Amino acid sequence: MSSAVTITAPSVKHILLDSLVVIKIVKHVDSELHAGISEVSGDACAGVLTGLVFLDDSRLEITNCFPTVRNEPVIDDDANAAQQYEEQKQQEMLDMLRKFRTMNIDYEIVGFYQSHQFGAGFSHDLVESMFDYQAMGPENVVLIYDPIKTRQGQLSLRAWRLSTAALDLASKNDWRPELVKAAGLTYQNMFEELPIIIKSSYLNNVLMSELALSKSYSSDKYSTRHFDLGSKKSLEKSVRAMMANVDELNKSIQSLTKYTIDKQRHDNMVFSLTQKRQQENESRQARGDPLLPMDDIKRIKAPQLQTRNGLLDELLASFDTNALADFSKTVTSENITKLFIAEAVAEDKVMGTKDRTLSSVSSTR
Amino acid sequence: MSRFFRAKGDSDSETESSEDEVEDQKVNKSAKFRDDLDFMAGPEDDVKRVVRAQKDKKFDELKSIIKQNRDAKSNKDLNRLLNGFDSLAKAFKSSKNVFQQQNVTIPRFYIRSLVEVEDYVNNLWEDKEAKAALSKNNAKALPVIRQRLKKYVKDEDLGKLIADYRASPDEDGYETPEDEDDDDFEEIPEAKTEKSPGKQADKAADSDSDSDSDDGDSSNWSSEPDTNSSDDEDSVTKMEQLRRYFLKKEFREDSKDDKKGDKRKRVIKVKEVVEDDDDDSWTPVSREKSVVHFDPKEEVTHDVMIKKLNEVMSARGKRTTDRNQHVANLQKLLEVSEEKNLGLGINVKISFCIISALFELNAKISDFMEYETFMKTLQTVNRLLDLLIETDKVKLSVTYAEEDENLKDDTQEYRIQGSILIAVQRLDGELAKILQNADCHSNDYIEKLKAEKDMCQLIEKAEGYVELRGHLKIFDEHEVCKVYMMRIEHTYYKYQDQNEKEVGKTMDYLCNKIYSLDKEKRLRQRAMLCHVYWLAVHDQWHRARDLLLMSHMQAIVDHSDVDTQILYNRTICQLGLCAFRHGFIREAHQGLSEIQNTQRAKELLAQAVGTRQHEKTAEQEKIDRSRQVPYHMHINVELMECVYLICSMLLEIPHMASCEFEMRRRMLSRSFHYQLKQSEKASLTGPPENTREHVVAASKAMLNGDWKKCKDYIVNDKMNQKVWNLFHNAETVKGMVVRRIQEESLRTYLLTFSTVYTTVNLKKLADLFELSKKDVHSIISKMIIQEELSATLDEPTDCLIMHRVEPSRLQMLALNLSDKLQTLAENNEQILEPRTGRGGYQGPGSWFPGRNERQGDKQKGSGGFQGERRGGQGQDGKRGNWGSQGGQQRRHPQKQRAF
């Protein structure tokens, strides 16, 4: 990452997503999730998005995508092999793009997609690759797909990009608290979300509206499924993930506290020393002696924040926690609503079973 | 350069470089020293001998320089040659005086070397090619050396000699034959042996009247080693010569001895004839480098003896005094005094002097005594003590001033300054040192340990003596206490099976003596700790615990000295082991965790010097070493660790089972958890090898509620050998442990699997754990009362009915999350309002890690024997001081607090 990269503000305001892309992503992630590959290899499913930018109406059209090769577990930690592998991966991607071109499909890379549970997988690596992409083309975005929510019946795709301020910091790869503060960066404005419009074919649209109109297909037999409280497991998972994040946050906050204190002390010291030196210099000037240099004071080392990436980790952890909390909130509120409905329904049917429902309430929370 | 050179030419060499000055001074000094000697001893042959040595020294000095020059020449290193030449000139100049004094001509080898150098330089100068090939430095040095050489030859009027030499040069590579020197030496002994009788006579004549001359005399005798040491820096060749020199001398002495023997015979004859005039018999003694001889004309009376003794004693502690000789002298005096029947007073006095002289054989306090010397001293002390016990006429006390001493008047009682008790004490210390320095795994150690028995007897005797003469008020109270203390210290760690009662009584008696006598607290504390230790070793748990608690030792131990702290640590450990033998698991755990949790148990028990030597000066290390407990007093650390781990297992496993879901577990024993974690980390768990692994494996079995497996891990042949057989009541202890394993396994089982059951039959549980139903009932009841288990006992059906109140996993997680969020919020607030006083004083206990934990234990547990512990927090840090890790230990908790 060189600081020579010029950062141009993105002009795209919303994203037009082809339904083909949606289907392809869902298919890719779901099949991998089924096979449990992602759990084995330990990293997210990812792929490259292609499409084109419409600068006129500030819209990004994503028309196609393809998955990238999964990282093979490097058995012998041979750096050479890893590098070779990386080259191979690159080659494959280029091949794919070439084929797209020959098939007259949009072959301009406009971003990449990754799958993360609960949509919360913002890691240092992700930020780095986002920066890479966005440095390549300012309109590039990342699509984060949440397989869990999709499984529960709600398609979850969100488009993100780094905000200009974050991009600026990332280009320097310097996340010192002062700089972050100066940039006014918080976990909320670090990433920008773009609205997605899924574009289906007209035929499809027609089919959908017909289905919506005809009573026979909005069937009764699926209605009970909406009362399913099967989100318990995923809720557990999200709470666990949240705990990990909170731990992380705690740690970074601790170091931040320490840093602030040290910094304060350091500043005070430097200040008092400079003042003393200045006074001395003034008196020296009066006497006509040569002035003492300030170099040694400047040379006193300022304290360092004891984390690797400055405040970046903290920001990411906050962001993730936020995403997880959002998920939990929606799931729980949905569940509560369902329970109330179920209770009402049950009361209607059998009067005496109230106890059991109550107990189930307590168990799902 | 030239200035320097001129200075050389001057007769006084004050302006020479400092190095040179030093050399000169040394020479002067030694010369002066010799002059003094001459003045003292008179005889002319001594001078000769001394100067000879000096000449040789000078020769060697010169030769070594010449040799260096030759090397330099062969290496074409002109710079070095130049330097070598300078130093040669210097050395020669300083030797010149000696040579002149002694009428030695300028040595031929010196001239030869000069010629060689000159030739070499001139050749080089002529040879243009070779000159061109020289390095820059060397090229610079060449003209300098050439010039200097010329000037030197001119200045020193050596031209003629050189010309002479050139006329008849030695063949190439010729060196002065070594035997030249040897011949010289050959002469000396002859001269000396010839002269010695006269000298002897001289000395005999004036030695009595003039103690000063004796001094000079002794130094004269030791002058040989002295010269030795003064020219240590000289080359090896010199050493070699010295060696030869001494070899010769030995031979010489032999011959002298022969002569002496002759003379002695003669003397004995004389003695037979003249009964009272036996002073002559002391002449041979004096020949053996001794000053102990009396004037033949004078009768040996008290006064003479005392004078003599003072004379001998005045040599004590001087550097020139040969210590062994000093002892021998004193022994001679003792013999004489016994022979002459000079009375007990003198005898005791001299014996006492001998003892102190024996102690002083070692120059350094930290060095340990030779074992033989020790035994000799022991015998001497023993004899003296016997003597003192036999007769009450002699009073040996520190309270007497030297003027008050009564050595001769046998109508009154003898009063002598000194203390036999201190001698005994010192002897005890020496024994400890000897044992510390012996290899504890060798037979040698056992040999040396035998002396311990003698020592005990001696101490007992000393104690008897104290009690016998106690009423005479000749002992310092402190001394007396020390004697009792010594006895205690030799008893407290020994386990006695047979006459335990008797020893116990002695122990009580001794300790009580000290409690009543000791004015300052230190000995009292120590005695008390020893007492507790002894009680603990002998399984008197309650008495031991009560005694320790009454003493409030825990509160004051951090203010006491290091040795007491070590003793305290030992006591605590022993008490812990005792508690374990009695089945008081919690108490045992508490006692042992003090030491075991620190990771440096051995260090704290002074059974090993810390491995981490950082920032430890050599001095500190030496002190640490001197504090080490001798091997035979060691507490078996492995056993202790094993016991500790077993205790931890019995306490911790049910605890772990009960709070399985709690994220932030309270740990009872950190090191136990560490061990558990280590074994979890291991990718492959084989069958356990050492005791530690056995306990860990047992713990895992227990966690699953499998008490039989657990038992098998704890009680088996391997463990029998390593652990259980080390207890004197192994079977009962084993039975106790198995029983506890059954109980705790039952508890663990119930806690772990309560979710699986709705009801459990008590009989089934009893069968499963091979406990009686009554026991099962009581255990379960206790658990229910302590709210560890939510269940009810159903009497009619003999069932345990479980209650389902456990929160679901999600609820647990949510609770934990809220906990975490709370800390996060707190931390966040801290950012806004940083606590500036972080490093400041925050009350006495705030930095101590175990405090809260321990307090928790106290509330929960059965007020263990450390319940009263108030000064606990200060202690760890303080005690750490002597391992120099106190700081670290203290730092650690702060870190902990931070997260």
Contact (CB<8Å) A254/B899: yes
Q: Reply yes or no on whether the pLDDT at A109 is more than 80.
A: yes
Contact (CB<8Å) B821/A253: no
Q: Return the residue of B nearest to A318 by Cα.
A: B824
What average pLDDT does range B148-160 have in this prediction?
72
Instruction: Please give the Cα distance from B115 to B70 (Å, whole number).
Output: 12
Contact of A256 with chain B, judged by CB distance below 8 Å, is answered with yes
Instruction: Please give the Cα distance from A115 to B821 (Å, whole number).
Output: 27
Tokens representing A69?
A: 């090769």
Contact of A242 with chain B, judged by CB distance below 8 Å, is answered with yes
pLDDT value, residue B184: 42
Q: Are B312 and B333 in contact (CB under 8 A)?
A: yes
Q: Which of A48, A58, A46 is nearest to A16 (CA)?
A: A58
More confident residue, B209 or B823: B823
**Tokens 């010799």, residue located:** B34
Q: Return the residue of B nearest to A321 by Cα.
A: B821
pLDDT value, residue B675: 83
Q: How far is A315 from chain B (nearest CA, A)?
A: 14
More confident residue, B385 or B409: B385
Q: Return the residue of A nearest to B810 by Cα.
A: A236
Q: How far is B832 from chain A (nearest CA, A)?
A: 9
Chain A positions touching B827 (Cβ under 8 A) are 250, 253-254, 257
Which of A239, A256, A261 lies nearest to residue B838, judging by beta carbons? A261
Residue type, B754: S
Residue type, B418: G
Contact (CB<8Å) B834/A243: no
B567 CB burial (10 A radius; 0-12, 13-18, 19+): buried
pLDDT value, residue B1: 46
Q: In what order do the strands lie in the sheet with A14-18?
A: A191-194, A157-162, A141-145, A108-115, A46-54, A59-67, A14-18, A196-199
Segment among B48-52, B375-379, B735-739 with least mean pLDDT: B48-52
Q: Which of B724, B718, B699 is nearest to B709 (CA)?
A: B699
Q: B288-297, B399-408, B448-457: which has the highest mean pLDDT? A: B448-457
Q: Where are the domains of chain B?
A: 2-179, 288-475, 491-629, 637-755, 814-896
Segment among A109-118, A253-262, A286-295, B585-594 with least mean pLDDT: A286-295
Class of domain A14-228: alpha beta
pLDDT value, residue B2: 44
Q: How far is B816 from chain A (nearest CA, A)?
A: 8
pLDDT value, residue B807: 67
Which of A236, A250, A364 lies nearest to residue B820, judging by beta carbons? A250
**Tokens 């306090």, residue located:** B365
Supply the DSSP string of A318-354, one letter for each residue. HHHHHHHHHHHHHHHHHHHHHHHHHHHHHHHH-STTH
Tokens representing A239?
A: 């709470």
Give CA separation, A107 vs A24, A46, A65, B685, B849, in Å: 16, 17, 9, 55, 63
Length of chain A: 365
What average pLDDT does range B239-259 have in this prediction?
50
**B747-789 tens-digit pLDDT:** 888 888 877 788 888 888 888 888 888 889 999 899 888 878 8
Contact of A246 with chain B, judged by CB distance below 8 Å, is answered with yes
Instruction: Please give the Cα distance from B505 to B516 (Å, whole number).
Output: 16
Q: Reply yes or no on whether the pLDDT at A318 is more than 80.
A: yes
Q: Reply yes or no on whether the pLDDT at B861 is more than 50.
A: no
pLDDT value, residue B40: 44
Q: How confident is the model at residue B360 (pLDDT cuts 50, 70, 90)?
A: confident
Segment among A147-156, B54-63, B671-680, B834-843 with least mean pLDDT: B834-843
Contact of A240 with chain B, judged by CB distance below 8 Å, is answered with yes
- Beta-strand runs (E) in B624-771: 759-761
Neighbours of B593 (CB within 10 A): 24
pLDDT value, residue B153: 73
pLDDT value, residue B240: 55
- Most A CBs within 10 Å, among B661, B821, B829, to test the A interface: B821
Q: How far is A254 from chain B (nearest CA, A)?
A: 7
Contact (CB<8Å) B817/A247: no
Q: Reply yes or no on whether the pLDDT at B359 is more than 80.
A: no
**A157-197 tens-digit pLDDT:** 888 888 888 888 888 877 888 888 888 888 888 888 889 98
For chain B, the average pLDDT equals 69
Segment among B12-26, B294-308, B309-323, B566-580 with least mean pLDDT: B12-26
SS3 content of chain B, % helix, strand, coil (to 5): 70, 0, 25
Tokens representing B337?
A: 């005094």
Q: Return the residue of B nearest to A242 by Cα.
A: B817
Q: Reply yes or no on whether the pLDDT at B809 is more than 50.
A: yes
Residue type, B423: A
Chain A positions touching B830 (Cβ under 8 A) are 253, 257
Q: Are B216 and B41 in contact (CB under 8 A)?
A: yes
Q: How far is B818 from chain A (nearest CA, A)?
A: 9
pLDDT value, residue A190: 84
What average pLDDT does range A60-85 have in this prediction?
74
In chain B, which residues touch A (CB < 8 A)? 808-811, 813-814, 816-817, 820-821, 823-824, 827-828, 830-831, 834, 836, 838, 898-899
Contact of A95 with chain B, judged by CB distance below 8 Å, is answered with no
Instruction: Please give the Cα distance from B588 to B544 (Å, whole number).
Output: 13
Residue type, B573: C
Which of A246, A254, A364 lies nearest to residue B820, judging by beta carbons? A246
Q: Which of B608, B520, B536 is nearest to B568 (CA)?
A: B536
Q: Are B430 and B369 in contact (CB under 8 A)?
A: yes
Q: Are B434 and B631 in contact (CB under 8 A)?
A: no
* Backbone phi, psi, residue A76, to 5°: -95, 130
pLDDT value, residue B244: 56
Instruction: Tell me, yes or no, if the pTM score tops 0.90.
Output: no
Q: Reply yes or no on whether the pLDDT at B724 is more than 50.
A: yes
Which helix (H) or strand (E) segment is A61 a member of?
A: strand A59-67
The 8-class DSSP code of residue A50 comes to: E
Instruction: Please give the Cα distance from A7 to B826 (Å, whole number).
Output: 39
Which of B811, B823, B827 lies nearest to residue A257, judging by beta carbons? B827
Instruction: Please give the Cα distance from B567 to B488 (Å, whole number).
Output: 13
What average pLDDT does range B336-346 have in this prediction?
72
pLDDT value, residue A43: 63
Q: How confident is the model at residue A76 (pLDDT cuts 50, 70, 90)?
A: low
| Helix (H), strand (E), coil (C) string for B727-748 | CCCHHHHHHHHHHHHHHHHHHH
Residue % of chain B over a pLDDT of 70: 64
More confident residue, A225 or B557: B557
Instruction: Please give the Cα distance from B398 to B477 (Å, whole number).
Output: 11
Q: How confident is the model at residue A353 (pLDDT cuts 50, 70, 90)?
A: very low
More confident residue, A287 or A357: A287
Instruction: Please give the Cα distance from A351 to A7 (Å, whole number).
Output: 66
Q: Which of B489, B497, B563 is nearest to B533 (CA)?
A: B489
Chain B positions touching A247 (Cβ under 8 A) are 820
* Backbone phi, psi, residue A72, to 5°: -80, 140
Chain A positions touching B898 (Cβ under 8 A) are 254, 258
Tokens representing A354?
A: 């109230």
Q: Are B399 and B391 in contact (CB under 8 A)?
A: no
What average pLDDT does range A54-83 have in this prediction?
76
Contact of A257 with chain B, judged by CB distance below 8 Å, is answered with yes
Q: How far is B850 from chain A (nearest CA, A)?
A: 22
Q: Return the residue of A nearest to B839 by Cα.
A: A261
Length of chain B: 899
Q: Are B34 and B102 in contact (CB under 8 A)?
A: no
Instruction: Please give the Cα distance from A162 to A170 (Å, whole number).
Output: 9
**B73-91 tens-digit pLDDT:** 777 777 777 787 778 777 7
Dihedral angle sign, alpha carbons of residues B678, B679, B681, B684? positive
ipTM for the whole complex: 0.70
Q: Are B395 and B421 in contact (CB under 8 A)?
A: no
- Most A CBs within 10 Å, among B661, B809, B810, B819, to test the A interface: B810
Residue % of chain A over a pLDDT of 70: 82
Cα atoms in the 13 Å half-sphere on the side-chain side of B624 = 23
Give CA separation, B90 vs A316, B9, B20, B728, in Å: 80, 10, 8, 78
pLDDT value, residue A179: 80
pLDDT value, residue B43: 42
Q: Which of A339, A329, A343 is nearest to A363 (CA)?
A: A339
Q: How far is B681 from chain A (nearest CA, A)?
A: 20
List of residues 6+ apart from B466 with CB closer than 8 A: B421, B475, B480, B483
Q: Reply yes or no on whether the pLDDT at B436 is more than 60.
A: yes
* Backbone phi, psi, residue B699, to 5°: -60, -40
**A22-66 tens-digit pLDDT:** 989 888 888 887 776 655 555 678 888 999 888 888 888 888 888
Q: Reply yes or no on whether the pLDDT at A154 is more than 80.
A: no
Contact (CB<8Å) B834/A242: no
Instruction: Please give the Cα distance from A247 to B824 (Å, whole number).
Output: 8
Q: How far is B682 from chain A (nearest CA, A)?
A: 21
* Backbone phi, psi, residue A159, to 5°: -105, 130
Residue % of chain A over a pLDDT of 90: 1
Segment among B202-216, B357-371, B688-702 with least mean pLDDT: B202-216
Instruction: Please give the Cα distance from A298 to A282 (Å, whole number).
Output: 19
Instruction: Please give the Cα distance from A9 to A14 (Å, whole number).
Output: 14
Contact of A363 with chain B, judged by CB distance below 8 Å, is answered with yes
More confident residue, B890 or B503: B503
pLDDT value, residue B594: 79
pLDDT value, residue A229: 66
Query: Helix or strand or coil: residue B660?
Result: coil
Contact (CB<8Å) A249/B898: no
More confident residue, B254 or B706: B706
Instruction: Please give the Cα distance from A56 to A51 (Å, whole number).
Output: 15
Contact of A280 with chain B, judged by CB distance below 8 Å, is answered with no
- Most B CBs within 10 Å, among A243, A267, A318, A332, to test the B interface: A243
Instruction: Please give the Cα distance from B429 to B369 (Å, whole number).
Output: 10
Q: Reply yes or no on whether the pLDDT at A357 is more than 50.
A: no
Contact of A236 with chain B, judged by CB distance below 8 Å, is answered with yes
Q: How far is A284 from chain B (nearest CA, A)?
A: 36
Q: How far is B807 from chain A (nearest CA, A)?
A: 8
Residue type, A180: V
For chain A, the average pLDDT equals 79
Q: Return the residue of B nearest to A260 by Cα.
A: B831
